[in-house]
Homo-oligomer: A and B are copies of this chain.
């Protein structure tokens, strides 16, 4: 029935790529999964690593371990930098691979809206390396504030600006407020971390625009009660080292974190197919790349409208559903190749709800008509996140840490690690 020599190349070991590889278990195809990191990352909790709530291994799991018992899956640590659709070949610095089916799932990158020169001064949050760098820089600023005799320097060191009021920006601002108000508060003798200024900027009229207005309002009120300055209708016209210019004001801040834009991985530009403004591939209803039924784009790389006309959001459950859908289509292709071709089914997104956490016991949650806020939403958030975490160890450790953090406001992970020289 199946062709044992069919080679499926999956680029990216995120939620989408893993779901595709899992969905192909036992199908008889040979799978090569390529990722430039050696670990799958539980990206929804990455902001916790940046704000010293969790440590890297709690939310990252080696991809090789995930496929230890899947001899049909070969994992390569490497980067694909171009795709040759005509030759059915992907290439990168480590070599090239030919494929029968290709699944593009390399995810998103931080986008600076045409200002890549801002990146060094306002880091984004996409990898464990990004998160550790932000943590190091935030914690070091407080250490320097404790030593400096200069008042205006101290003020700058204790100011943090988060650009972007989507889920990541809201989560970062909330976690930074808790870090300074509850965790660092007893650590210093010369400064008062409670006086740290946390500013959340967004050019929209409200936070979390993908949620209903009353949830946006709840998020704003909750953040302000936690001590965050929320500035809406406020864009950014320039970013320099330690300075954000909003057009009407210049904010001096040692730490500027960028949570404003997500673009598709630059790999899409090498395909020669139509992309949307964010660089995402405009896929067909079956998630294939137009004109290439053997190539699929899924996850944050793809601009997808599902069978009901619903715009599919860039969240983990959607990415996983896309991965499973593609695996099903490849299986059906192989099964029907000896008989008549059946038309491929269109992707149908099942909205299981989405949520953003705001702080220690507050979140907003929506699933269809259901809306939750506050502690109830937070509990739902915690439960769903733990449920999704890959690997037993991570679940157990995250649970222990969460419980401990919850009771003590402790932050066992707040290490400043100076990277070893290469």
A residues engaging B (CB < 8 A)?
A: 37-39, 55-57, 60-62, 64-65, 68-69, 71, 74-78, 94-95, 120, 123, 127-130, 132-134, 139-140, 143, 146-147, 184, 186-190, 391-394, 396-397, 400-401, 404, 410-422
Alpha-carbon gap, A21 to B224, bound state (A): 40
> Taking CB as reference atom, which chain B residue is nearest A67?
B187
Alpha-carbon gap, A147 to B412, bound state (A): 37
With contacts A78-B147, A419-B129 taken as known, whether A413 is within 8 angstroms of B186 at the C-beta atoms is no
Contact at B143–A38, with CB atoms within 8 Å? Answer: yes
Alpha-carbon gap, A391 to B413, bound state (A): 12
* A147, chain B: closest CB distance, angstroms: 6
Contact at B56–A416, with CB atoms within 8 Å? Answer: no
Q: Provide the residues of chain B in CB contact with A392, threshold 8 Å.
A: 404
> Taking CB as reference atom, which chain B residue is nearest A190?
B74
Q: Provide the residues of chain B in CB contact with A396, threshold 8 Å.
A: 400, 404
Alpha-carbon gap, A185 to B55, bound state (A): 26
Contact at A77–B143, with CB atoms within 8 Å? Answer: yes
Of A146, A189, A392, the most chain B CB neighbours within 10 A belong to A189
Contact at A412–B133, with CB atoms within 8 Å? Answer: no
* A224, chain B: closest CB distance, angstroms: 28
* A193, chain B: closest CB distance, angstroms: 11
Contact at B60–A415, with CB atoms within 8 Å? Answer: yes
Contact sample, A vs B, 8 pairs, CB 8 Å cutoff? A38-B143, A39-B416, A57-B412, A60-B415, A68-B187, A76-B143, A77-B147, A129-B418
> Taking CB as reference atom, which chain B residue is nearest A129?
B420
Contact of A147 among B95, B415, B416 (CB under 8 A): B95
Alpha-carbon gap, A69 to B189, bound state (A): 11
Q: Provide the residues of chain B in CB contact with A422, threshold 8 Å.
A: 133
Q: Provide the residues of chain B in CB contact with A55, threshold 8 Å.
A: 55-57
Contact at A189–B71, with CB atoms within 8 Å? Answer: yes
Alpha-carbon gap, A420 to B110, bound state (A): 14
Contact at A94–B129, with CB atoms within 8 Å? Answer: no
17 further interface pairs, Cβ-Cβ under 8 Å (given A69-B186, A74-B189, A127-B418): A38-B415, A57-B415, A62-B187, A62-B411, A64-B188, A68-B186, A75-B187, A75-B189, A76-B143, A77-B143, A127-B420, A129-B417, A132-B417, A133-B419, A391-B412, A392-B404, A400-B400
Contact at A420–B130, with CB atoms within 8 Å? Answer: yes
Alpha-carbon gap, A56 to B189, bound state (A): 27
Contact at B415–A39, with CB atoms within 8 Å? Answer: yes
Of A56, A57, A123, A132, the most chain B CB neighbours within 10 A belong to A57
